[in-house]
Structure 1
Amino acid sequence: MVMTFEEFEISNNLKKAVKEMGFEAPSPIQEKVIPELLKEQDVIGQAQTGTGKTAAFGIPLINGINSKQKHVQALVLTPTRELAIQVAGEFQKLSKFNKVQTLPVYGGQSIGHQIKTMKRGVQIVVGTPGRVLDHISRGTLQLDRISHLVLDEADEMLDMGFIEDIEKILKNANEDRQTMLFSATMPPAIRKLSNKYMRTPKQVTIDKGEVAAPSIEQVYYKVLEKNKLDSLCRIIDSETLDLGIIFCRTKKGVAELTEALQARGYMADGLHGDLTQSQRDVVMKKFRKSTVEFLVATDVAARGIDVQNVTHVVNYDIPQDPESYVHRIGRTGRAGREGIAITLVTPREMKHLRSIEREIKNPIQSKSVPSIEEVVEKQQETWKHQVVQLIEDHESDDSLYGNITADLLSDYSADKVVTALMKLAFYSHSDEKVETAGYDFGETGAQQGMTRFFINVGRNVDMTPKKLVEDVAKLVGIDAGRIGKIDIFENFTFMEVPEESAPFVYEGLKYARVGGAKINLEPAKPRPKRK
């Protein structure tokens, strides 16, 4: 039996918000952690980023907040401002119908603005240790009445040297509180912290077991978030595909992608938890009979599907854990048939992809999004076959198109007319440059064919060319050998990368840590011309 969020003892308003966010069923960490936290038990959760841990502690935390009381009742500590913003954003969605106010506090934003907002009344503060301590020292944040405290990505905070700040915060917090600690790893310092500040915590670890991926072809494509749909269309147009399942993370995502694919002329239908059994049966009947070639589905909706001739599985949204990845791609290559698993990965998701590779003990091959020329070359035989079939179909009524055909052929040569019609009928996006659309870095002073970036750290964080190349290659997924000239100074660095890789480097490193330091990356300004 598949568990649902309806089974948790949480408020109806919270259930309504969860449903609106498109969540169908709890992830493994949510299924184990939420019941324990609802008992007001201290919990240590060992989980990777991307497993749904934010909702795992967010749902019971928000459920326990009294929205009528305007003082701070919960504190969530995160290692970075980006994670603080992300967690606060998730909390705001979860508390849409609960009237619970969440405020992210972090360095780099006006502290005056944060103080004003706190004075108006917030129940949850999500912040980085440094800025939280700043508020405590100013007396603008009182922790003596909090009932919940969360340490998110505790090992990351340890690596960043925040352990002393965390201890100061914990000493200032109400002792009669529920404490939650989440960490991908459990080094001794984190164990020591939990032993000192938590009350008989319940340990929750998701048992990964032996994660083994089936022996099918597995590839991933790096795509920009803004061009994800266009990239998907290029990829599936370049494949020889019989039946494909495309996975999305949420019901809302399934509905939106299904509609977008249908609008572009693809035979697609969606499958998610809101469908009645009869609606589900209709969709599955069409898929089994190949009336639709793409089934767009969530993980939950796809459970129990056993269609033998699925040739492709596409992860439009990267799975939240290695187990989900293995279950998804196992839908193809059934009964000894060949199959291919395709995963779309945005630059920010590269780290998550690497964790999946480690768990399945198998590197996944990288491919570039096909160009329009490659798509046309791949599809030529298919298009030719379709045209020949129409020509040889003696039952078709040619009288409808006779006049326009004659008019066109009287003004233009037959080869020009046929070429134009092929373009019109088979590809309407021929001028799109989906790989790099939306970024124009301008003149950056780089060598020809390269883009030069400025990074705001240098030798002051022990940056070396080797460290930089290794981190960029790992985080962005580009070949280390393609990274160009690197100039490292005391407080900043310049790095050149190929123009076609520049958008991925820019998106992938904007919120990343390189050489252990949080960086700011931007296109470099051109070098001044010598007089």
Structure 2
Amino acid sequence: MNSFENLGLSEAILGAIKELGFENPTPIQEKAIPVLLEGRSDFVGLAQTGTGKTAAYGLPLLELIEQDQKLPQALILSPTRELGIQIADDLRLFSKNILNLNVVNVYGGASIDDQIRKLRRGAHVIVATPGRLLDMIRRKAVDLSKIEYLILDEADEMLNMGFKEDIDVILSSTSENKLTWLFSATMPNEVRRIAKNYMTDPVEVTVGKANTSNVNISHQYYLLNNRDRYNVLKRVVDYYPEIFGIVFCRTRKETQEVAELLMKDGYAADALHGDLSQVQRDKVMRSFKNKTIQLLVATDVAARGIDIDDLTHVIHYNLPDELEYYTHRSGRTARAGRSGISIALITPRDERKVRDLAKKLNVEFAQLKVPGGEEVCERQLLHYMNRIKEVNIEDNNIGAHFEAINNELSELSREDIIKKFVSLEFNRFMDFYKNTPDLNMKSSTQKRAQKTHESVDSNEDRMFINIGIKDGIDVPRLLTLIHKQCGVRGKNIGRVDLKGVFSFFDVEKEFTNEIVKGFAGAVVGDRAVRIEVSGDRPSSGGGESHRKGRSSRGSDRGGSDRSRGGSDRGGSKRESFKDRRRKTSDSPRYSERKKREA
């Protein structure tokens, strides 16, 4: 492997990074630094999160800055204030041996007047978030016309966060003669657009396959019922006693709720999201970096500035909607060559999303069983035993009391002492996990296979009816029709398979004759209805079940809407309302989406 000494860096920079523990450059640093040091071309660097992109552009940038010129020569745009703060801190550390080089942070959530004063005192490098910098430009508080180097860090994330228009305005405020360096973990079309519109024949360097995940990350998931999500989170955290990680949530509200629940249950946790003040956010981050906090519960945006090398786990409380978000989340762990674990808590309806992620990222996801109570207790006990073995014994402190301790415990055998010692620490813990339920859920494939197996000798008949989708029939309309014609309620109907001009449905055998008699002479539209018992059984996954506890949809919400309301299906009026409900704000999917957007 190449060394930093061979990349053309000055002694001042080499001395600073050596003190920081930098030994060998990462692949993106090795490829980018020599090119950027020449200061002749635009540049696009694509590398996974956690591969050292800040040093890849920061080190050569510091070499190119002329300290004698007291004006902004470089602008670094960051998607979040946390990442901006981290970048500025890194640059100050890299340049500690360079006299009079000034780096100024510009971001929201802090006094804009203070930031303006710092800029007026002279800034060689500005590290800014787009929103606050745009505010500065409108106030004419900053002059970007002399900028020689523009760096877009985490460009894909800035576009994901809706900064496209802001970036366009900022870029148009800078000199046409500047060099633009773009760094990103992924390369979506919008990032390509920026490169095309604002860069000239950029040198492009890609480390690893585009849009792939760090090979040192182990991707895992647990299949669960939605109502058990928080309990599964606790079970997983307890199973990994030495966990030091981030729990990602979709919304600020969910982030705060999960953090408060964890703290209430005795875990060293806290929340990081956009509703916190800058002072609160700084306090949380200090605690997390000092490991006073074991679990940080965060939104995607808030966590973008977290650059900690020894995170062991990333837990996706809910999977994100976008591939890029999963990549950035998982990239918080397995940094600087270490290994890490990315865990997703999913319901059966998320299985397709996991398969898509696996295919697009070219990784394997391992489905693990949610640990049982006994497994968790065993892991905790072994962890406690290891702590005992590794503890340092201070003879000077305990020696004077050792005889008294021996006398006090003289009547106990070695085995009794061990049992009592362990019980003192773990009685409450083991009582909590005694007889705890199994929180695992079958996958959709397993459930379909089970349903097919159960239906072979079931107490149901398979019915054929010569109307289907082309007759304007959907499941609610068919169930309403059956009830009107025969008086048989939806709760007595099982799996339904809708086809183009015919359909199948299961019905409890005691209602078979009522179904046949009820449809005698019935007409739907201009078609005479024909119904009969069929010998065919449904194929696995071929239809929809409407019996409570057997729904193939909505199982993570405790049963489908039809299942919960099946016994009340008294006529077309109620069914009509349920049909309309899908398209209104009463719809469970609509409500869930609105919660995520809150």
Normalised by the length of structure 1, the TM-score is 0.48
Larger radius of gyration: 2
Normalised by the length of structure 2, the TM-score is 0.44
